[in-house]
Chain A
Amino acid sequence: MIEIKNVTKKYGDFTAVDNISLNVEKGDVFAFLGPNGAGKTTTIKMLTTLLNPTSGEIYLDGHNVMEKPSETRKSFGIVFQDPSLDNELTAYENMQFHAILYGISKDVYIDRIKKLLELVELTDRKDSYVKTFSGGMKRRLEIARGLLHHPKVLFLDEPTIGLDPQTRNHIWNYVKKLNEEEKVTIFFTTHHMEEVERYGHTIAIIDHGKIIEQGTIDEIRKKAGTDSIEDAFIKLTGRQIRAEASNFSKSTLRGFRGM
């Protein structure tokens, strides 16, 4: 379903993603793991047509992502790591905007918006402006919106960050159902390793822009010689805490180029 071939992304001298290759099978629940600043979000941006790689090729649902961005966009949905809501609109309007952009017919979207707002427990706030929402509420709305259409591939970039265990559970059950019943391929990143063990099938670990390990959960545990994915992760990527300076340098560099 997703094929990444020797993809590199450079910002000036900084290499965010360094010659990675990956395959994600149809119907898989794929966990893309790595410390902060490892290159996860950059990779997702390249997969979702927001960013062009410096070199390499990407295929999504058989479409060459760089050459056929419009076709590619029909095949996937995404929940971004950073906020992407319109604060001046209400929760319902944000959902409706998305539904119309994705060409969902009215009777389908009215029903789905209702269900999803219930799922993330925002039904009573559906007509409030998003600017009045707390961080957690915005996050929940963002996820509900991302689940509105049923694509072939669903990208979830740290979807459950800042959410309580109840909401996390609700959302994962919904995603699991999408995967099982509609065969939606799930590509997600997270720092919660118990989510990986509970819901993931295949894993790739990226660090400093390079894929350092990939395989099923069992294979990774065996290779690392550990009992849990958490231990395997720390063993493979080291104990050092990473600075997430890359986002800053990226936008600054782009700013210079834009002048």
Chain B
Amino acid sequence: MRTIYILWIRQLKRFIRKRASLIGALGQPLIFLIAFGFGLSPVFARAGQGNYIQFIGPGIIAMTILFTSIFTGTEVIWDKQFGFLKETFVAPVSRFEILLGKTLGGATVAAIQGILVFFITLAVGFRPHSLVMLPLALLYLVLIAVLFSAVGVAIAARLEDMQGFPLIINFVIQPLFYLSSALFPVQGLPKILGFITTINPLSYGVDGMRYALSGSSHFSPWLSLGVLSAFLIAALAVGIYQFRRIQL
């Protein structure tokens, strides 16, 4: 437990000390909210789908968490390059504890960012439909954060340096975000796109949050919870397998 705690606190300290990146990470969701939220709002309303800000709010929160979480992986790559991973890897602690500490540290940072973006959505006009449901929204928010931190760490375990990371952004993060239910409803999509969004775990995270925050959802909230948990277990399993194979 002490191991997980010290790894977790290390990541929080690093996050708090880098204020520039904290503020930088809030820029993108703000632009998305303004450009998509307001820009597409008339079209959305005319299509009879209601208030687009209400729809896209949870999607933008999920986006922030997705990006920040997967970027947890970059910390593992930095640790490899700056040698700090060696220090943790020769210590008498299990690889699983290291993996969990890293994942939870990254997830906490991402969850904090997600909560900050929630307040930004409030500022641009988003209104949660019920305050009682906020803890449930937080549960989905945390699940998304832990799941994608685990994914980020599992991917980073395979990478030697930062050169591979643009690949991850373009072929993992971007598709996960754009091909999910974050920006558009799943109903009535062209078949292939509908299928992709249905197998994308982020769709379930967004949908769960949308259920808790806006009161509408495509999947059952239980199904979303189950899918997210299943993907989380899978990501941790892959992560621990990759971690045990790391040679320094």
Question: Footprint of B on A, CB under 8 Å?
Answer: 45, 48-52, 70, 73-74, 76, 78, 80, 82-89, 93, 96-98, 100-103, 251, 254-255, 258
Q: Do A97 and B10 touch across chains, with their CB atoms under 8 A apart?
A: yes
Q: Contacts A48-B90, A49-B90, A102-B92 hold; do A88 and B17 have CB atoms under 8 A apart?
A: yes
Contacts of A102 in B (CB 8 A): 91-92
Question: Footprint of A on B, CB under 8 Å?
Answer: 2-3, 5-6, 10, 13-14, 17-18, 82-84, 86-94, 158-161, 247-248
Cα-based distance from A254 to B94 in the complex (angstroms): 24
Q: Contacts A82-B83, A89-B13 hold; do A255 and B90 have CB atoms under 8 A apart?
A: no
Contacts of A98 in B (CB 8 A): 87, 91
A-B contacts, CB under 8 A, total: 79
Contacts of A82 in B (CB 8 A): 83, 86
What would be 22 A-B contacts, judged by CB atoms less than 8 Å apart?
Answer: A48-B90, A49-B89, A50-B89, A70-B92, A70-B94, A78-B90, A80-B83, A82-B83, A82-B86, A84-B83, A84-B86, A85-B87, A86-B14, A93-B10, A96-B6, A97-B6, A100-B2, A100-B3, A100-B6, A251-B160, A255-B160, A258-B158
What residue of chain B has the Cβ atom nearest to residue A87's Cβ? B82
Q: Do A103 and B2 touch across chains, with their CB atoms under 8 A apart?
A: yes
Cα-based distance from A51 to B248 in the complex (angstroms): 6
Closest Cβ of chain A to B124, distance in Å, is 33
Q: Do A73 and B90 touch across chains, with their CB atoms under 8 A apart?
A: yes
Q: Do B247 and A52 touch across chains, with their CB atoms under 8 A apart?
A: yes
What residue of chain A has the Cβ atom nearest to residue B157's Cβ? A258
Contacts of A258 in B (CB 8 A): 158-160
Q: Do A85 and B84 touch across chains, with their CB atoms under 8 A apart?
A: yes
Contacting residue for A101 out of B83, B91, B158, B159, CB 8 A: B91
Q: Do A84 and B14 touch across chains, with their CB atoms under 8 A apart?
A: no
Contacts of B160 in A (CB 8 A): 251, 254-255, 258
Closest Cβ of chain B to A159, distance in Å, is 15
Contacts of A50 in B (CB 8 A): 86, 89-90, 247-248
